[in-house]
Amino acid sequence: MPARSAYVCQQCGASTPKWAGQCPSCEAWNTLVETVVPGGPRGAKGGARERRAGGGEAAGIEPIGGVTSAEAARLETGMGEVDRVLGGGLVPGSIVLFGGDPGIGKSTLLLQLAARVARAGSAVLYVTGEESSAQVRGRAERVGAVVEGLALLPTTELDVAVNAIAAMRPALAVVDSVQTMASDDLGGPAGSVGQVREVASRLAEVAKAGATCVALVGHVTKEGTVAGPRTLEHLVDAVIYLEGERLGATRLLRAAKNRYGSTEEVGVLEMRSDGLAEVADASRFFLESEQPPVAGSAVTIALEGTRPLAVEIQALAAPAGYGAPRRATTGIDPNRVLMLIAVLARHAGLNLTGHDVYVNVAGGLRIEEPAADLAVAAALASTLRERAVRSGTVLAGELALSGRLRVASRAERRLAEARRLGFSRLVTGPARGDGGSHSSADDGLAAAADLRGALRLALED
């Protein structure tokens, strides 16, 4: 079938068959660019190109027992933290997007993974559109990735890359980066929505055809997404983000989409002088200090996926100057903190209106789960009242606007992890009224019905 073209908006990614001055979807002007739509069956949406059975009606039908599952054939990278996030390794024939801010370590990570796979005996091709072979070789020397079986291809031409992958059929092909590759068939420049989509869909095709794992690197753009809103996510099988503060050493891997695994797991890595390394005890990693507790600090046990992580929440309340007091947070949703400030005022008599408030999640972690509420509230109460959290105490539980406290999910699991790290007590909400669950002070679970009660249990007198 011949290639067809469509006009794709460079801003929102919407596609229309006819050119127009204004995008019919997002109403931006002069953003439509002609884009090739593959003529094959995996082309356009809408069902018009459904594959028709060639011979008889039954073509393509097979008994489920005769189908081999993709689970059987994972390509393990050998880096446990990465395999965990991938759901057990890379899946042959799939394409995974590795996104992250420029300079965060994507090229470093993929070069290390490429070397590990090559060292284990599989062929690997690293397509570099951003750096010269010499630059990649320089990095490879630094991270110990000069390995037999790892080949470099410096090019920014999509056709060259695709043909090389099709001819070599490596177990793993890294394409670094999606923003530097371009197809001559398209008008737009490299990095435009049309090009980026073409790169991802052509690579997805060649991955499938040769049972190659394609790892595609993508820089996150200003808007916080890879190359325009949602442009790429539906074209790839998995999206893994590498996150962290550029100046800090901690790097987190998270799946934003994973067709072959959970999106709950996080991987914890550390940037060193010889590349990214797994950390020995990830759970302890986010505990800033093991010193006696100080005012303004509270520890929670967060559950990231199946893994509990001990995390220190730091808060500082300082008398505000003129005007509206400042509220600044890192690693936690500022709106959640505003809510907790209001709950503290209304239900614990702790008024922060006259204070600038800073809340920081130690170690560069981002906390999403509401069970962190209680530790944030305790850190705030602790800084305001200049009382430390009792030694050996961790907190986890969600706060309602009414000031009531809910028990954290899997509280026993969290307590077990707290114990392993040398804490003795988890302050949380009351056990759900199912009669069967137990909660008593001596097994380490200390339950309070509301914020006031929890602060009484948690803070020193």
Binding region for ligand TYD (CB under 6 A) out of 12-20, 102-110, 207-215, 416-424: 102-110
Q: Give residues 297-336 in contact with ligand TYD (rule: CB under 6 A).
A: none
**Residue 99 found at the interface with ligand TYD (CB under 6 A):** no
Nearer to ligand TYD, 100 or 308 (CB): 100
Nearer to ligand TYD, 131 or 333 (CB): 131
**Residue 108 found at the interface with ligand TYD (CB under 6 A):** yes
What is the C-alpha to C-alpha distance for residues 355 and 382, in angstroms, rounded to an integer? 14
Nearer to ligand TYD, 278 or 333 (CB): 278
Give the shortest CB-130-to-Mg ion separation in angstroms: 5
Q: Is the peptide bond before 5 cis (omega within 30 degrees of 0)?
A: no
Beta strands in 115-249 (DSSP E): 124-128, 150-154, 172-176, 213-219, 238-243
**Residue 231 found at the interface with Mg ion (CB under 5 A):** no
User: Binder to ligand TYD among 274, 281, 386, 443 (CB under 6 A)?
Assistant: 274
Nearer to ligand TYD, 136 or 193 (CB): 136
Give the shortest CB-377-to-ligand TYD separation in angstroms: 36
User: Binder to ligand TYD among 75, 104, 118, 303 (CB under 6 A)?
Assistant: 104
Binding region for ligand TYD (CB under 6 A) out of 135-143, 329-337, 424-432, 448-456: 135-143
Binding region for ligand TYD (CB under 6 A) out of 1-9, 95-103, 157-165, 302-310: 95-103
Contact 343, 401 (CB under 8 A): yes
- Token duo for residue 271: 């940037």
**Residue 142 found at the interface with ligand TYD (CB under 6 A):** yes
What is the C-alpha to C-alpha distance for residues 196 and 173, in angstroms, rounded to an integer? 17
CB environment 204-225: b (16+ within 10 A), e (fewer): bbbbbebebbbbbbbbbbeeeb
**Residue 382 found at the interface with ligand TYD (CB under 6 A):** no
Beta strands in 17-143 (DSSP E): 32-37, 95-100, 124-128
- Token duo for residue 279: 């950390």
Binding region for ligand TYD (CB under 6 A) out of 226-234, 259-267, 269-277, 385-393: 269-277
Q: Distances from the Cα of 378 to the Cαs of 56, 381, 413, 439, 451, in angstroms?
A: 69, 5, 21, 21, 9
Size of the site for ligand TYD (CB under 6 A): 15
User: Binder to ligand TYD among 2, 47, 103, 354 (CB under 6 A)?
Assistant: 103
Q: Dihedrals φ, ψ of 7, to 5°?
A: -105, 120
Give the shortest CB-110-to-ligand TYD separation in angstroms: 8
Write the burial class of residue 148 (CB in 10 Å: 0-12 exposed, 13-18 middle, 19+ buried).
Answer: exposed
Residues in contact with 442: Cβ distance below 8 Å, sequence separation at least 6, in sequence order: none
User: Binder to Mg ion among 11, 107, 258, 300 (CB under 5 A)?
Assistant: 107
Residue 208: closest CA among 235, 186, 243: 235
What is the C-alpha to C-alpha distance for residues 319 and 381, in angstroms, rounded to an integer? 14
Looking at the DSSP bridge assignments, the partners of residue 309 are: 302
Q: Which amino acid is at 389?
A: V
**Residue 102 found at the interface with ligand TYD (CB under 6 A):** yes
Give the shortest CB-106-to-ligand TYD separation in angstroms: 3
**Residue 100 found at the interface with ligand TYD (CB under 6 A):** yes
**Residue 346 found at the interface with ligand TYD (CB under 6 A):** no
Q: Dihedrals φ, ψ of 236, to 5°?
A: -120, 165
Give the shortest CB-132-to-ligand TYD separation in angstroms: 13
- Token duo for residue 407: 């028990």
Binding mask 61-100 for Mg ion (x = CB under 5 A): ----------------------------------------
Binding region for ligand TYD (CB under 6 A) out of 101-109, 220-228, 231-239, 415-423: 101-109
Binding positions for Mg ion, rule: CB under 5 A: 107
Binding residues vs ligand TYD (CB under 6 A):
100, 102-108, 139, 142-143, 271, 273-275
